[in-house]
Amino acid sequence: MKTLKLFIAALIAIAFVQSASATQKIGLYLTAEDFLNHKLSYESDGSNGTKVQLHGVFGSYKVVVIQNGKKQFFSKAEIFGYRKDNQDYRYFNNSAYRIIDTQGFYIYGYCKLVPAGKGPKDVEFFYFSAKPSDEIKPLTLDNLQASFAKDTRFLYAIEGFFRTDNELTSYDTNLKEYKLKYLYAQTLR
């Protein structure tokens, strides 16, 4: 009886996962220009006969597109990123970074497992790039100073407002934007 209950529970779990994955909309941005123009090169929503597989076995460095029964392989290093369930991601060094903000410069999030109390905990770390195709760097005061060395108004604003790297991710709920992005926009005026 116990085995039957486990078997039924496993079948229900498999059916749930399959139905959830069938409704996910996934599309690929082959280039940064495609991303800027909101042009998905391949799109899979479970109804058009195209299937996009983002994650292979053991963290593959490839993305697979199955279209009309034919497989195409793309190296993650060769494509810009993807869109999944209305959220955009960018590949950099074969890892997918969640695109959080694109106004002025780009802010990304990347989750990592870190040791915590009773076991590992998923923590989001923040990164940035000056342009969509630039190198993604950790969001730190030093990296911002190096990337925006010619933008002295912005650097002075950062210096006057932020004391630590952790403060760079402060979010203003009234303005509905990151304080760092607000400062950047104000220094462009």
Query: pLDDT (tens digit, 9 = 90+) per residue, 121-172?
Result: 999 999 999 999 999 999 999 999 999 999 999 999 999 999 999 999 999 9
Q: Return the percentage of the chain with pLDDT > 90, whole number.
A: 64
- Let me know if residue 1 belongs to a domain: yes
- Let me know if residue 136 belongs to a domain: no
Range of the domain at 1: 1-86
Distance in angstroms (rounded) separating the CA atoms of residues 40 and 64 = 15
- Let me know if residue 160 belongs to a domain: no
- Let me know if residue 122 belongs to a domain: no
- Let me know if residue 153 belongs to a domain: no
Please give the C-alpha separations between residue 23 and each of 17, 64, 65, 115, in angstroms, as whole numbers: 10, 18, 17, 33
- Let me know if residue 60 belongs to a domain: yes
The per-residue pLDDT of the chain, averaged, comes to 86
Domain count, the chain: 1
Query: pLDDT (tens digit, 9 = 90+) per residue, 93-133?
Result: 989 999 999 999 999 999 999 998 888 999 999 999 999 99
**Across residues 4-27, what is the average pLDDT?**
50
